[in-house]
């Protein structure tokens, strides 16, 4: 990679300064570096030159300040569950591991919000909230850190009802490229005061600053929750009901698609006995009567579209099992082929274009001969392919690359986006340009303004060289 040549290597002075400041929480051990050089994606290992385990915003500022003086890259790391190689140190430098910043700083049941440190995971937060009657909805498959989720503008199964991190982050504490610390907003639910720095940093993947604290919206746990699965004779029939549900304005909390291959994988992995057919996973939230009403509308729509019977998960345990099956899709795919790796990619299109986009993509996968189940947060027009690949067969990767490029081109031609929720990372920088054209120049200008030496997670989102 030519850009790597431009990065400044870790100097002895910087190494000494960081070790003096952080002691055992500074490491250059190969195992530690390798652990931080990869995420859950297919991208190559790119270890940082050193790792610092930080515990406070001030410590992050100290690391950045020292690195900035030496013009050495800093790369933030949360749980390493990213899917586009965003936390790999492709230009070397110092990895800032935020996983020890796990304090929940404040929960306000009255204001339905909280503030957490960046290393708090979504499950940790919901566990903590258990007795308050509140929950935080955004749920990417992995138990990701909330800092990482904010940085990648993550979403998940219930974004169709509750929004993504874009809608659910109220404020951020951010360490800038020169070590300054800012807070992007106060706690008011809305504000017309100046530029929306919160939304600028949400989704910036560590390239503009490092998120250390996050203010989040919380929601009352609904009075009633019902979940069900429903099989369909074809993927077209399943997607048709998704479109009809959204267009009818039903405030469905989750509406997820797994194709036939995906269902087979999930059944096998979790020892379940769902029909091996294109399947929708539904969840309805509301009052008891409100949920009954939603169920009635959607069940009628499903019948019109030749859906099977709804199979209900009535107890909390049954519901957890149902959603665990959905969330385990990634591991279920991995298990389909021993020794395989999964390359997960996603696009998002306007809902009216979803049937065609999925149909054409399905045909393309079949023609390619690859194993690549489709799963999707289809209520948002968002779906994923999981290429299940043999790591030793480069031809498979090349074929996956072509199928992926065609899927992105298809989504863009439908006025969609090259990624609904995984981010750009290292994997989609060219697609970003295809999608945004001249607007990428604006992104570059913002990047240069906030990080003139390009030390903040360089090589991600934008190629600056």
Q: Per CB under 8 A, which of residues 246..275 are in contact with a copy of itself?
A: 246-249
Distance set, CA 295 to CA 224, 229, 245, 298, 427 (Å) = 12, 12, 11, 5, 40
* CA–CA distance, 427 with 340 (Å, rounded to integer): 19
> Which region, judged by CB under 8 A, interacts with a copy of itself, from 20-28, 192-200, 266-274, 320-328?
192-200
Contact status: 304 vs a copy of itself (CB under 8 A): no
Q: Which two tokens stand for residue 423?
A: 């981010």
* Strand bridging mode 169-175 / 210-217: antiparallel
Q: How far is the CB of 114 from a copy of itself (least distance, A)?
A: 12
Q: Which residues contact 23 (CB under 8 A, 6 or more apart)?
A: none
Between 185 and 275, whose beta carbon lies closer to a copy of itself?
185
Where do we find the tokens 């992104």?
A: 443
In angstroms, how far apart are the furthest CA atoms of the chain?
70
Strand 210-217 and strand 113-117: the pairing is: antiparallel
Applying CB under 8 A, does 344 fall inside the site for a copy of itself?
no
- With CB under 8 A as the contact rule, the residue among 128, 183, 406, 463 that binds a copy of itself is 183
* Helix or strand run (H / E) with residue 114: strand 113-117
The mark string for 67-106 relative to a copy of itself (x by CB under 8 A, - otherwise) is: ----------------------------------------
Site size with a copy of itself, rule: CB under 8 A: 93
Report the nearest approach of a copy of itself to the CB of residue 162 (Å): 12
One of 316, 318, 441, 465 touching a copy of itself (CB under 8 A): 441
Enclosing H/E stretch for 323: helix 316-327
- Region of 95-103, 231-239, 267-275, 427-435 interacting with a copy of itself (CB under 8 A): 427-435
CB of residue 411 vs a copy of itself: minimum separation in angstroms?
8
Q: Is 204 a binder of a copy of itself (CB under 8 A)?
A: yes
By C-alpha distance, which of 142, 78, 88 is closest to 331?
142
Considering only residues 349 through 378, tell me which ones interact with a copy of itself, judged by CB under 8 A.
Answer: 349-352
Q: Is 398 in the site for a copy of itself (CB under 8 A)?
A: no
Q: Kindly report the number of other CB atoms within 10 A of residue 8's CB atom.
A: 16
Considering only 53-61, 96-104, 173-181, 318-326, which stretch makes contact with a copy of itself by CB under 8 A? 173-181
Q: What does the block give as tokens for 119?
A: 């290393």
Cβ–Cβ < 8 Å for 201, 172: yes
Q: Residue 272 CB, nearest distance to a copy of itself (Å)?
A: 29
Rounded least distance, CB 194 to a copy of itself, Å: 5
Q: Does 300 bind a copy of itself (CB under 8 A)?
A: no
106 to 165, contacts with a copy of itself by CB under 8 A? 108-113, 152-155, 159, 163-164
Bridge partners, 97 (sequence order): 53, 77
Only one of the segments 28-36, 50-58, 234-242, 281-289 lies at the binding site for a copy of itself (rule: CB under 8 A); that segment is 281-289
Residues comprising the chain, all counted: 465
Q: For 77, what's the count of Cα atoms within 13 Å in the CB-facing half-sphere? A: 30
* Tokens matching residue 286: 């509301």
Both structure tokens of 4: 């790597």
In whole angstroms, the minimum distance from the beta carbon of 384 to a copy of itself comes to 12
Taking alpha carbons only, the member of 124, 294, 145 closest to residue 222 is 294
Select 154 or 322, whichever has its Cβ closest to a copy of itself: 154
Say how many C-beta atoms besides its own lie within 10 A of residue 398's C-beta. Answer: 9
Of the candidate spans 91-99, 124-132, 228-236, 239-247, the one that interacts with a copy of itself by CB under 8 A turns out to be 239-247
| From 1, 105, 300, 442, residue interacting with a copy of itself (rule: CB under 8 A) | 442
Q: Does 188 bind a copy of itself (CB under 8 A)?
A: yes
202 contributes a contact to a copy of itself by CB under 8 A: yes
Comparing CB distances to a copy of itself, the nearer of 104 and 109 is 109
Interface residue with a copy of itself among 12, 24, 131, 194 (CB under 8 A) is 194
User: Which residues touch 123 (CB under 8 Å, ≥6 apart)?
Assistant: 143
With CB under 8 A as the contact rule, which of the stretches 33-41, 64-72, 259-267, 432-440 interacts with a copy of itself?
432-440
Between 207 and 226, how does the x/- string for binding to a copy of itself read (CB under 8 A)? -x----------xx-x----
What burial letters (b/e) apply to 331-353, b meaning 16+ CB within 10 Å?
Answer: ebbbbbeeebbbbbbbbbbebeb
Complete edge-to-edge strand list for the sheet that includes strand 74-77: 26-27, 50-53, 94-97, 74-77
């Amino acid at each position: 990679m030519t850009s790597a040549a431009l990065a400044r290597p870790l100097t002895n002075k910087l190494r000494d300064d960081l070790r003096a400041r952080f002691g055992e929480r500074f490491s250059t051990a190969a195992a530690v570096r390798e652990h931080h050089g990869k995420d859950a994606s297919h991208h190559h290992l790119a270890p940082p030159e050193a790792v610092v385990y930080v515990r406070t915003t001030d410590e992050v500022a100290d690391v950045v300040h020292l690195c900035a003086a030496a013009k050495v890259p800093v790369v933030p790391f949360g749980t390493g569950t990213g899917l586009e190689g965003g936390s790999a140190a492709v230009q070397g430098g110092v990895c800032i591991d935020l996983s020890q910043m796990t304090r929940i700083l404040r929960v306000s049941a009255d204001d339905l919000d909280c503030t957490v440190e960046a290393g708090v995971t979504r499950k940790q937060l919901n566990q903590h909230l258990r007795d308050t009657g509140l929950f935080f909805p955004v749920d990417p498959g992995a138990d990701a850190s909330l800092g990482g989720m904010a940085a990648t503008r993550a979403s998940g199964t219930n974004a169709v009802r509750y929004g993504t991190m874009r809608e659910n982050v109220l404020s951020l504490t951010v360490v800038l490229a020169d070590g300054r610390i800012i807070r992007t907003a106060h706690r008011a639910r809305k504000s017309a005061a100046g530029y929306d720095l919160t939304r600028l940093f949400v989704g910036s993947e560590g390239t503009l600053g490092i998120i250390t604290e996050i203010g989040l919206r919380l929601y009352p746990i609904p009075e009633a929750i019902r979940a069900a699965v429903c099989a369909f004779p074809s993927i077209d029939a399943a997607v048709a009901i998704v479109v009809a549900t959204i267009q009818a304005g039903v405030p469905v909390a989750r509406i997820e698609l797994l194709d036939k291959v995906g269902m087979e994988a999930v059944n096998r992995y979790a020892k379940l006995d769902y029909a091996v057919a294109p399947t929708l996973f539904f969840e309805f939230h509301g009052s008891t009567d409100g949920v009954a009403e939603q169920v009635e509308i959607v069940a009628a729509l499903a019948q019109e579209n030749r859906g099977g019977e709804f199979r209900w998960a009535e107890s909390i345990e049954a519901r957890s099992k149902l959603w665990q099956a959905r969330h385990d899709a990634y591991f279920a795919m991995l298990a389909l082929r021993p020794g395989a790796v999964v390359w997960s990619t996603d696009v998002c299109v306007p809902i009216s274009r979803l049937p065609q986009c999925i149909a054409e993509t399905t045909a393309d996968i079949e023609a390619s001969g690859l194993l690549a189940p489709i799963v999707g947060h289809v209520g948002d027009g968002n779906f994923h392919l999981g290429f299940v690949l043999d790591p030793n067969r480069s031809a498979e990767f090349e074929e996956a690359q072509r199928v992926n490029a065609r899927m992105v081109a298809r989504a863009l031609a439908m006025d969609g986006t090259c990624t609904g929720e995984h981010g750009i990372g290292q994997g989609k920088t060219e697609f970003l340009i295809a999608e945004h054209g001249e607007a990428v120049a604006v992104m570059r200008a913002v990047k240069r303004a906030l990080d003139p030496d390009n030390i903040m997670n360089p090589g991600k989102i934008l190629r600056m060289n």
